[in-house]
């Protein structure tokens, strides 16, 4: 069974950008900051951007 087959039947539930997703980070002052959907989306966009600019340099 391929990953593609397994994920075809999954339903994606969109979350509000400010909605916590169940994790937290600790900031420099020791405060617990809930990880939000928006934080994850921004991180994914940044990784995607970096991976595309990195592959262009390696060619």
Total domains present in the chain: 1
pLDDT at res. 18: 84
d(CA 44, CA 59): 23
| Contact present, 20 and 28 (Cβ < 8 Å) | no
d(CA 56, CA 7): 30
Q: Quote the domain boundaries for residue 35.
A: 3-58
d(CA 34, CA 31): 10
Note the pTM of the prediction, 2 decimals: 0.58
pLDDT in tens, 10-54: 777 777 878 888 899 999 999 999 999 899 999 999 999 998 887
């Amino acid at each position: 069974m391929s990953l593609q087959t397994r994920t075809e039947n999954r339903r994606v539930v969109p979350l509000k950008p400010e909605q916590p997703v169940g994790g937290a980070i600790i900031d420099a002052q020791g405060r617990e900051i809930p990880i939000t959907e928006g934080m994850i989306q921004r991180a994914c966009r940044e990784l995607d951007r970096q991976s595309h600019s990195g592959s262009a340099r390696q060619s």
